[in-house]
């Protein structure tokens, strides 16, 4: 049922998010528009024809633990095999290890399609990419030569083992132990929870990346090291060896993404799991952080994928389903519910939010790519900061959009939306994890406010706001009647964002840490709304070269978002700047 | 785990929603504070000890179809029997038929507790009350004497059969047929879907109220009649007779409220189900509408119940769970997550929204009660209009709050929230139906804007806004430092509500129906926010007589809601008054 919106995706890449800027830069010499279009079109085919048909199946026949091993949903192993053998896992991997070295921008575009097709399926490869990055940057030659080629190709998958029962958002509390061995390896002992695709039957081996503590490690986050712990040892000739002391002890029963096994992993129950140090001792968190931006962005893209899917399904239903008579309807009989103003409002809200999430995630990918490809040091610094600024917004705001849009999708379906058979409810259940994992959206908001606003002494975010203002001014200057009050709304939003930003910077400067933290979540929404409105407007302005229908749609979506969503920025600004005292004065335990 | 917030409930009844005004009025002579307190306290005990323990069980062992009959979750039949034998079903029923004749205000208060305890369980009796009202007002003497005593006591349950596959929000499309028989009964033929507790094993009989068309009925809604169709015929001596031609053909697999069987019912497969006309022929919808206000309010109360439950669970978790160090924390080690400003903000948001939904629903019940009890005609007219105005807000806004708060509850739990074992996810799944059934929230918003704003030529809503302004002025005049900027926020909200209201009235006056409809949903939220903020502030002002802690909490909640939520009213007002052109100009089919 899912149809990949290739035109929308290509347009957003090229005209909104900045792909053209990347073309021709070092490492992107072969990034022609033809190549982009060809990849998008092939990916669309695979997403629609092979991945999407398994989405409902994964929901109904979850991955499960059978005789101490995880059995995935029927058909998933075959689909995964076709997928990686088609070269889809190796898009971004380094050519040195068999990868295609393509930029993140292209990757998020195809990731969106995989996620629309089947988020639970796509989550597996998403984790592999994290492992690839960690090993590309921090792995020893042995680790790189032994594991990278098969992780890059997708012949093996990777996992990230961070969380323990007492250590979730706060990794300083983790207890898994690593004991150095005379041969240079380590023995790993401990339990990890919520390990995505911790076990499965789709590949011959699984490469676990595990955070653990050395015996003499300092307390807190400066005493954490990162290890590779393969499910099966690898022989010198590259063949699969003995089973390592790793086992899956349970699979969670979750609200959604049923097809994705969320495992409890036990290391070292029978004498110690053999692990290999990645990077330096006690520097494990730094290794993790190098891949955090990409992983967080990848979760943001899940929000995009679900929002697009939910929109497509709701629109199809609303055009088909007839109830009542829309005001002014000329036809005999009942109108399609899509013709009723209230339903049209819901559909436009879904469409515009999906496009906002897409534009933000793609812009974030662009910044990540530029942080590597920019020709000079100043440019790389600028784009590194920009990627840092955009990542929490891409992760936090896009995944909030995923949940929001999926919920509106249920509402458009009425009673049918609450019945699982329809499939609309699954989107909400699936989407609901994305604001939680890879750093909750509260953590994202804190990262945005406490770490990203202060970059370059606040100058970076100020420059960013100036860019948004330029777009707003341009919209206002063009004075297009069909854009309604979008220019005015956008200008007001930019002012609100600026005011809230300056307040937060000042609060931090004054050491009012709690005050700044209290406003973090409303600030993230304010930033997401304003950036989203600006990117939609940028797209509308850039669409003059498009055909009439395409252009009309871009203008309508940008206008609808500005006129129905941006009004919220004034209230959010006030919440950031005025509500912290009240919140902080509360002893919430008194409400128990 | 659930603890009924008796003090909050009693305070809201007495000091916020207007119970005192009702006391002593005709029909409420015995409504003493002692009686109220005694009933609340007994209900709390039953909700906590007998209903709540079955909530998770119903989720895990849904009602199911076995050999052509619905088998409910183990333990539900016993719980239901204890419940109705305890007199809980007959609270509001007319004394003439064995009811206790208590006001709606008391009923919504105990309904809140049943719903917090177990929404899926409580839904059954909620439907019975609808049947009781229909028969009390429109049933013949035969129907009243045969069915009412057992429906009032709860020995039998009732159902409402409206929806058909092609007729959901638009009942004019329904096709179920009724053929008059020589003996004055009718034979009913047709299929109904989404029939809550359409079949179950908790009682000896089920009394279906069924909408159907007579052979010569006019098309549309003026050709619909209402019938009683019992599952089993009733003999002249009141004993159970032969089985009627009614059967359950399926039970839906739903996102939530698994314990509540949602049935497809087939009438007349074997020659025709025997039915009895309720009220006049072709006047069935009018009969339905008389009970609509109460049923919609009852669904609003589900939002209250779930919000309260989700808040309690999230607060308990956040006080227990330790991660990181809150800013300024003096203790050794990690802080409870409740101490982190971002989590505190979430918890305050949950708490204040639950209290808002409660206050609105109770105020709506008060209006319904006053519409019967007011001593003069003008008073009854006023309160009838007030109930009409508040009902769509109580249903629409409170159920949106239920979903919102349940989703925040998941977020507070982090990864644990996505795991079904925790129970937090069930609240979201359960809550998600309430914005859909008994008239979707879009329908509620349209009812509010198109039917309720124009009451008394717009004068009623203007008087309502003036009352809200009085509260805002009072808060501002008291100038309490601990209320922060609540007075100012509330005044601004009232102004926004007024402006949007006048715009909508004018649009309708000008025949701009589509324009008014396009703004209906944001208007409903604007009205809910403003009313909610005003009722919380009213409670804060009225709490001077309370103990210090209680008073402090009321002030804190009112302030937090005003400072973190009311800022949105400006944007909503703009959306109502400025976005319709953009929305209506879109041909949404062009986005397919």
CA distance B219 to A20: 60
CA distance A367 to A389: 10
Residue A340: its chain B contacts at CB < 8 A? 442, 517
CB-nearest partner of B520 from A342, A429, A482: A342
Residue B410: its chain A contacts at CB < 8 A? 255, 432, 436
Cα atoms in the 13 Å half-sphere on the side-chain side of B245: 15
Nearest-CA neighbor of B224 among B278, B271, B295, B296?
Answer: B278
- Bridge pairing between strands B206-212 and B157-161: parallel
Read off φ and ψ for residue A75, nearest 5 degrees. Answer: 100, -20
- Is pLDDT above 80 for A292? no
The residues spanned by each domain of chain A are 6-150, 157-283, 440-585
How far does Cα A360 stand from its chain's mean position? 11
Nearest CA in chain B to A323: B170
Architecture in CATH of A157-283? Beta Barrel (2.40)
Q: What is the 3-state secondary structure (H, E, C) of A477-511?
A: HHCCHHHCCHHHHHHHHHHHHHHHHHHHHHHHHCC
- For position A289, what pLDDT does the model report? 80
Residue A433: its chain B contacts at CB < 8 A? 418
Residue B318: its chain A contacts at CB < 8 A? 588
CA distance B440 to chain A (A): 7
Give yes or no for a contact between B121 and B54, defined as CB atoms under 8 angstroms apart.
yes
- For position A426, what pLDDT does the model report? 98
CA distance A374 to B82: 73
- For position B287, what pLDDT does the model report? 87
Query: Could you say which of B136, B438, B498, B515 is catalytic?
Result: B438
- pLDDT tens digits along A214-236: 999 999 889 999 999 999 999 99
A6-150 folds as Butyryl-Coa Dehydrogenase, subunit A; domain 1 (1.10.540)
CB-nearest partner of A418 from B254, B568, B589: B254
Angle at A203 between CA A197 and CA A207, to 5 degrees: 60
List of residues 6+ apart from B189 with CB closer than 8 A: B176, B177, B178, B179, B267, B268, B272, B273
Adjacent-strand bridge partners of A267: A190, A246
- Is pLDDT above 80 for A489? yes
What is the biggest distance separating any 2 CA atoms in chain B, rounded to whole angstroms? 84
Nearest-CA neighbor of B530 among B473, B491, B475, B571?
Answer: B491
Nearest-CA neighbor of B115 among B388, B389, B406?
Answer: B406
pLDDT per residue rounded down to tens, chain B (592 residues) = 899 999 999 999 999 999 999 999 998 998 999 999 999 999 999 999 999 999 999 999 999 999 999 999 999 999 999 999 999 999 999 999 999 999 999 999 999 999 999 999 999 999 999 999 999 999 999 999 999 999 999 999 999 999 999 999 899 999 999 999 999 999 999 999 999 999 999 999 999 999 999 999 999 889 999 999 999 999 999 999 999 999 999 999 999 999 999 999 999 999 999 999 999 999 999 888 877 778 999 999 999 999 999 999 999 999 999 999 999 998 888 999 999 999 999 999 999 999 999 999 999 999 999 999 999 999 999 999 999 999 999 999 999 999 999 999 999 999 999 999 999 999 999 999 999 999 999 999 999 999 999 999 999 999 999 999 999 999 999 989 999 999 999 999 999 999 999 999 999 999 999 999 999 999 999 999 999 999 999 999 999 889 999 999 999 999 999 999 999 999 999 999 999 999 999 999 999 9
- For position A226, what pLDDT does the model report? 97
DSSP-derived secondary structure for B417-479: HHBGGGSHHHHHHHHTTTTTSSS-HHHHHHIIIIIITTGGGGHHHHHHHHHHHHHHHHHHHHT
Identify the three-state secondary structure at position A208.
Answer: strand
State whether A578 and B549 contact (CB < 8 Å).
no
CA distance B262 to B267: 16
CB-nearest partner of A324 from B170, B254, B563: B170
- For position B496, what pLDDT does the model report? 98
Identify the three-state secondary structure at position B25.
Answer: coil
Residue A563: its chain B contacts at CB < 8 A? 574-575, 578-579, 582
Nearest CA in chain B to A492: B571
Nearest CA in chain B to A314: B592
State whether B582 and A559 contact (CB < 8 Å).
yes
Please report which helix (H) or strand (E) contains residue A34, including its range.
helix A33-46
- For position B288, what pLDDT does the model report? 84
- pLDDT tens digits along A94-116: 999 999 999 999 999 999 999 99
Nearest-CA neighbor of A129 among A154, A163, A98?
Answer: A154
CA distance B504 to chain A (A): 14
Quickly count helices (H) and strands (E) in chain A.
20, 12
Identify the three-state secondary structure at position B408.
Answer: helix
Q: Which of B345, B521, B551 to mutate to test the interface with A (most CBs of A within 10 A)?
A: B345
CA distance B85 to A140: 73
- For position B338, what pLDDT does the model report? 97
CA distance A502 to A333: 56
CA distance A475 to chain B (A): 16
Residue B347: its chain A contacts at CB < 8 A? 588, 591
Q: What is the mean pLDDT of residues A552-559?
A: 97
CA distance B367 to B376: 14
- For position A294, what pLDDT does the model report? 86
Architecture in CATH of B1-323+351-439? Beta Barrel (2.40)
Nearest CA in chain A to B196: A415
Helices (H), B256-283: none
- pLDDT tens digits along A267-277: 999 999 999 99
State whether A344 and B410 contact (CB < 8 Å).
no
- Is pLDDT above 80 for A293? no
Which 8-state DSSP code applies to residue A213?
B
Please report which helix (H) or strand (E) contains residue B242, including its range.
strand B240-243
Give yes or no for a contact between A501 and A465, defined as CB atoms under 8 angstroms apart.
yes
CB-nearest partner of A442 from B343, B445, B592: B343
Q: Which of A59, A195, A262, A591 to mutate to test the interface with B (most CBs of B within 10 A)?
A: A591
What is the number of other CB atoms lying within 10 angstroms of the CB of residue B581? 13
Q: What is the mean pLDDT of residues A402-407?
A: 98
Give yes or no for a contact between B276 and B144, defined as CB atoms under 8 angstroms apart.
no
CA distance A249 to A263: 7
Residue B433: its chain A contacts at CB < 8 A? 418
- Bridge pairing between strands B186-196 and B177-180: antiparallel
- For position B432, what pLDDT does the model report? 98
- pLDDT tens digits along A425-472: 999 999 999 999 999 999 999 999 999 999 999 999 999 999 999 999
Instruction: Check for a shared fold between A6-150 and A157-283.
Output: no
State whether A253 and B420 contact (CB < 8 Å).
yes
- Is pLDDT above 80 for A143? yes
Q: Is A467 a catalytic residue?
A: no
């Amino acid at each position: 049922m899912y149809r990949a919106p290739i035109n929308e995706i290509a347009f957003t890449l090229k005209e909104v998010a900045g792909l053209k800027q990347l073309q021709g830069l070092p490492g992107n010499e072969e990034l022609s528009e033809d190549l982009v279009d060809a990849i998008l079109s092939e990916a669309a085919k695979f997403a629609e024809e092979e991945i999407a048909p398994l989405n409902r199946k994964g929901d109904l026949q979850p991955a499960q633990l059978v005789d101490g091993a995880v059995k995935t949903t029927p058909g998933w192993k075959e689909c995964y095999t076709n997928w990686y053998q088609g070269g889809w896992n190796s898009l971004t991997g380094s050519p040195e290890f068999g990868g295609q070295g393509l930029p993140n921008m292209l990757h998020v575009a195809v990731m969106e399609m995989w996620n629309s097709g089947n988020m639970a399926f796509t989550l597996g490869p998403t984790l592999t990419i994290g492992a690839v990055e960690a090993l590309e940057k921090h792995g020893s030659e042995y680790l790189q030569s032994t594991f990278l080629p098969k992780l890059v190709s997708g012949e093996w998958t990777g996992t990230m083992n961070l969380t323990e029962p007492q250590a979730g958002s706060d990794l300083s509390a983790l207890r898994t132990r690593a004991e150095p061995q005379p041969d240079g390896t380590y023995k790993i002992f401990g339990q990890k929870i919520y390990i995505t695709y911790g076990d499965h039957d789709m590949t011959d081996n699984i490469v676990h990346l595990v955070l653990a503590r050395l015996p003499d490690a300092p307390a807190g986050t400066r005493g954490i090291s990162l290890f590779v712990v393969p499910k099966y040892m690898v022989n010198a000739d590259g063949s699969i060896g003995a089973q390592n002391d790793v086992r899956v002890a349970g699979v969670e029963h979750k609200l959604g993404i049923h097809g994705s096994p969320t495992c409890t992993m036990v290391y070292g129950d029978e004498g110690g799991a053999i692990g290999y140090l990645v990077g330096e001792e006690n520097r494990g968190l730094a290794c993790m952080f190098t891949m955090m931006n990409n992983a967080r962005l990848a979760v943001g893209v899940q929000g995009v994928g679900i929002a697009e899917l939910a929109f497509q399904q709701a629109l199809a239903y609303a055009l088909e389903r007839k109830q009542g008579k829309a005001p002014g309807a000329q036809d005999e009989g009942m109108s399609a519910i899509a013709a009723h103003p209230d339903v049209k409002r819901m559909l436009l809200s879904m469409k515009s939010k999906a496009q906002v999430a897409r534009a933000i995630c793609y812009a974030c990918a662009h910044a990540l790519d530029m942080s590597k490809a920019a020709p000079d040091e100043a440019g790389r610094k600028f784009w590194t900061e920009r990627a840092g600024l955009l990542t929490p917004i891409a992760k936090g705001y896009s995944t909030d959009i995923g949940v929001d849009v999926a919920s509106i999708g249920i509402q458009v379906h009425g009673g049918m939306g609450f019945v699982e058979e329809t499939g609309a409810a699954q989107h909400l259940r699936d989407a609901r994890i994305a604001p939680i994992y890879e750093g909750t959206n509260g953590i994202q908001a804190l990262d945005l406010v406490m770490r990203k606003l202060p970059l370059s002494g606040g100058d970076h975010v100020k420059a960013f706001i100036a860019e948004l203002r330029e777009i707003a001014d341009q919209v206002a200057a063009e004075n297009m009647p069909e854009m309604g009050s979008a220019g005015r709304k956008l200008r007001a939003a930019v002012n609100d964002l600026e005011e809230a930003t300056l307040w937060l910077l000042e609060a931090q400067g004054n050491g009012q840490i709690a005050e700044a933290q209290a406003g973090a979540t409303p600030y993230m929404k304010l930033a997401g709304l304003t950036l989203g409105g600006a990117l939609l407007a940028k797209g509308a302005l850039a669409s003059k070269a498009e055909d009439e229908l395409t252009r009309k749609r871009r203008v309508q979506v940008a206008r609808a978002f500005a006129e129905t969503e941006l009004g919220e920025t004034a209230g959010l600004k006030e919440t950031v700047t005025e509500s912290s005292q009240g919140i902080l004065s509360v002893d919430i335990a008194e409400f128990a």
